[in-house]
Structure 1
Amino acid sequence: MTSFVSKLNLEDFSLWKKIEDHRVPLDFYLEITARCNNNCRHCFINLPEGDVEAQNKELTLAEISDIADQAVELGTMWCLLTGGEPLLREDFFEIYLALKKKGLLLSLFTNACLVTEEHIAFFKKYPPQYIEVSVYGISEEVYERVTRKPGSYANFRHGLDLLFESGIKIKLKTMALRSNFNELSEIAKFCREHSDSTFRFDPLLHLRYDQDPLRNNQIRQERLTSDEIVAIEKADEERSMALQNNCAHFIFSDNYRVDDDFLFHCGAGKSSFTVSYDGFFRLCFGLWHPDTIYNLRNGTLEEAWNHHIPKIRNIRSTNPEFLRICQNCPIVNLCLNCPAHAYLETGSMDAVVPYFCQVAHARATALEEAIKEKG
């Protein structure tokens, strides 16, 4: 029988460019809590599980449902539930079902420590697109060095095993930290053996959105040096080949020029957005500058998307150092810096961050050497 329907991978979907050009809010991150059962050294958002003040600020089920209705009206199709730890919400099932019934395609970020048989039965009945789990270590010592929560490793492995046995699509990832540096290769091996999805590791550690100085110092201590980042990217064959095969996207010619002083050249606010646990609209999950957020409890998503975002994307840099060093940098796509990260690092969205520069130049040198060796 002739087939009239062909399978198309989402990444090959030909309308992506048109969607971005026309600024359709196709997907959004929904942080349903900032609270977490773990206390990870590197986390930029987590608050204690029993933080009553944070819990009282959380969007209610009714508020979440209303925001989702507005999002669907604007054309949104995907929603990623995240936190904190989303499964801490006592009304998690109700939130998930409310979004599912609106036709949204749902995904979930979780540490897996709270996953039970009840969750598995629920997810099998109402399948997510995928569930993504962070693997901070494959030994109890390393995992709990990161989470700072005794017993968390056993809970993590139990929850992860339940997910593996369920047949639900699982994606695995990790953060490259000082605390798990010596176990990264084993973490990568474990993740690739247990999931068909591309394993990713991230060396970019965000500073705290609440600017807690003690926690920020702890995060800085977890950061790898530029040489260490290059070394782990080079040692990981999949990551190394991806960088080499896409070299043209990462290193531009020396005559690369940006003909304006607009601050935002990224995709923030073009086809996605983030809603924080306390109801603030953000262009991306990392952008916390007070001038860029919008309180959805006092306004509408349509107002935020169609009127607030254009104002933000029209912000121009007034920092001569940034314009000289960063704006026309040919290795900008190897750099960790952006307005969101610069603000968390310095309090200014158009600041030069030396650590990010070091990482970018080390990556560029390593990539150029790898290309030469390859011939």
Structure 2
Amino acid sequence: MFTLQPINSFEKFLCNKAFNSGTPICGTFELLPICNMDCKMCYIRMSPNEMHRQGTLLSVNDWLRIGKEAANSGCMFLLLTGGEPLLYPNFLKLYEGLRYLGIIITLNTNGTLIDKQIAETFKHNQPRRVNISLYGASDNTYKELCGNPKGFTQVMNGIHLLLDAGVQVKINFTPTPQNCHDLEKVIEITESLNIPISTPTYMFPPERKPGKISTDNINRLSPQQAAKEQLKVIRMGHPHLSDYINYIKETLDDIKETEEEEVLPPGGLLCAAGVSSFWVNWKGEISPCGMLQKSTRSLKEYAFKEAWEAIKTETKQILTSKKCFNCRFRKICKACGAASFAENHDFSLPATYHCELNEAYEELLKKELKKLEQEKINK
């Protein structure tokens, strides 16, 4: 979910090379599970008491040691996340220490705590990018979804501080039952500020939150609702009708019947996780993916290089769903091995949420294409 995406051809070249060689070029440091908001769909948030029952935060020196070992093993790109990473004690000291190691830093934040000091630091010691989770387009939406009646005002102030400092910003917006009505407005905001936006429609089950969570009781859209929001995003991203029609046709072409002879999936999660990317949680445990805390090694006990080699070996032994690998939706499906495990606690079973979403999306595309073609005939 949180693997850094290459943003230019040279980065793509480096990441492809790292994937083929098993070099951990991309990583995530999850600094803490605490946040200043209480979003209904969060997969990790804990209260301070819940956190202290599970462990203690790593020190700045601990993170810098891990960062140095990771860099020596080939890590170039690092994502800092949480909880809310700006709540981490001495965050700026850690940030500057990691930058001093030569690591390229991206930050995931809810944006409400960005102040002049942070913006000024980033102005003179630039991160690669700041990814801001925008949860709605009004303070009312933030109150309903995040328990923060001033959240929208705060995050917009943070965005403007970063832009004024010349910092690259990207918006992440995930539709939920409480904020999907704000989708168009959020996209309009990003267009007015000329900043990119990502709108994933899949919400992982909050596996890592204290207590048991049923997949039937997750604060997320139904697969059918998610498919509608997905198509809405695509339509807004294709202002020219001809481009929109071409997208629909190309996507439907990608949805093909499988061949009679099934192919066995290779080992691994079918992405870079555990191959060339890693995740270190707030307790110092390294795993292939933050959504998959199944295969871990404590970096308090193991050196990074030793732990990484173990994680790589164990990731290769994971066999993802044979049905998924041979599915006709394979080219458009956003499911991965971690999603299968999160939904089923079993890698061999498909993530049915994605199956239903893909089927609904295909039907919407067919109806949309038929409607557009009929409109052309009527003209």
- Bin of the TM-score, shorter chain as denominator length: 0.7 to 0.9
User: Cα–Cα, structure 1 residues 350 and 103, in superposed 2: closer, same or farther, change >3 Å?
Assistant: same
When structure 1 is superposed on structure 2, of 227-236 and 60-69 the one drifting more is 227-236
The 5 A counterparts of 1:122-201 are 122-197=121-196, 199-201=197-199
The answer to whether structure 1 residue 23 and structure 2 residue 28 are counterparts is no
Amino acid at match of 2:273: A
The one of 248, 269, 272 equivalent to 1:267 is 272
1:2-59 deviations in whole A, cap 9, x for unaligned?
xxxxxx9346743443321111211111111111000001110112367561795222
- Structure-2 separation of matches of 1:182 and 1:261: 40
Query: What residue is the counterpart of 2:4 in the other structure?
Result: none
Q: Deviations over 1:286-317 (max 9, x none)?
A: 1122xx12221111221222233123212336
Opposite residue 345 of structure 1, the aligned amino acid is E
Distance 1:68 1:58 in 2: 16
Q: Do 1:37 and 1:48's aligned partners in 2 also have CA atoms closer than 8 Å?
A: no
Larger displacement relative to structure 2 (244-253 or 120-129): 244-253
**C-alpha distance 37-55 of structure 1, shift in aligned 2 (>3 A):** farther
CA distance 1:200–1:316, change in 2 (3 Å): closer
Candidates 251, 254, 257, aligned match of 2:258? 254
Alignment-derived partner of residue 330 in structure 2: 332
* Preserved contact between residue 140 and residue 149 of structure 2 (Cα < 8 Å): no
Deviations 1:211-247 (A, max 9, x none): 5457657962x32223322222222225575964863
Q: 1:165, CA displacement in angstroms?
A: 2.4
Aligned to 1:85: 84
Do the aligned partners of 1:35 and 1:50 also contact (CA within 8 Å) in 2?
A: no
Structure-2 separation of matches of 1:139 and 1:36: 20
Q: Deviations over 1:324-356 (max 9, x none)?
A: x33311213433433212222222222233322
Q: Is the 8 A contact 1:211 1:344 kept in 2?
A: no
Name the counterpart of 1:355. Answer: 353
Alignment of 1:1-375 (within 5 A): 9-10=8-9, 13-48=12-47, 53=52, 57-197=56-196, 199-210=197-208, 212=210, 220=218, 222-236=219-233, 237=235, 241=244, 244=248, 247=251, 250-255=254-259, 257-260=262-265, 262=267, 264-289=269-294, 292-316=295-319, 322-323=321-322, 325-367=323-365
Superposed CA RMSD in Å reads: 2.9
Aligned length: 359
The question of whether the paired residues in 2 share the 8 Å contact of 1:35 and 1:55 is answered with no
Counterparts in 2 of 1:257 and 1:193: CA distance versus 1, 3 Å = farther
Whole-angstrom CA distance in 2 between matches of 1:157 and 1:95:
25
Judge conservation of contact 1:36–1:49 (CA < 8 Å) in 2. Answer: no
TM-score (normalised: structure 1): 0.85
Secondary structure of 2:32's counterpart equals coil
Structure 2 unaligned blocks of 5 or more: 1-6, 239-243
Between 120-129 and 53-62, report the one with greater CA deviation. Answer: 53-62
Q: TM-score, normalised by structure 2?
A: 0.84
Residue deviations 1:149-182 (CA, integer Å, cap 9, x gap): 3333333233233223222111112111110111
Distance in structure 1 (CA, Å) of the matches to 2:265 and 2:356: 25
Q: Distance in 2 between matches of 1:252 and 1:120?
A: 48
Deviation by residue 1:197-219 (Cα, 9 ceiling, x = unmatched) = 3x111111111233545765796
- Match for residue 241 of structure 2? none
SS in 1 for 2:202: coil
Contact 1:47 1:54 in 2 (8 A): no
Where does the alignment leave 5 or more consecutive residues of structure 1 unmatched?
A: 1-7
Moved more, 142-151 or 22-31: 142-151
Deviation at 1:187, TM superposition (A): 1.1
Question: Cα distance 1:131–1:356, how it changes in 2: closer, same or farther (>3 A)?
Answer: same
- Aligned AA for 2:326? N
The alpha carbon displacement at 1:90 in A equals 2.0
Contact 2:269-2:338 at 8 Å conserved across structures: no
Q: Work out the percentage of aligned pairs sharing the same amino acid.
A: 22
The AA in structure 2 aligned to 1:280 is: E
Counterparts of 2:113 and 2:20 in 1: how far apart (Å)?
Answer: 40
CA distance in 1: counterparts of 2:247 and 2:284, whole angstroms: 37
Q: Which moved more, 1:305-314 or 1:68-77?
A: 305-314
**Secondary structure of 2:29's aligned partner:** strand
Which whole-Å CA distance do the structure 1 matches of 2:354 and 2:34 have between them? Answer: 29
Equivalents in 1 of 2:40, 2:265: separation in Å?
A: 39
Shift in alpha-carbon separation, 1:355–1:213, aligned structure 2, 3 A: farther
Distance 1:123 1:174, change over 3 A: same
1:191 deviates by: 1.8
Contact 1:233–1:239 (CA under 8 A) maintained in structure 2: no
- The separation in 1 between residues aligned to 2:94 and 2:252, in whole angstroms, is 43
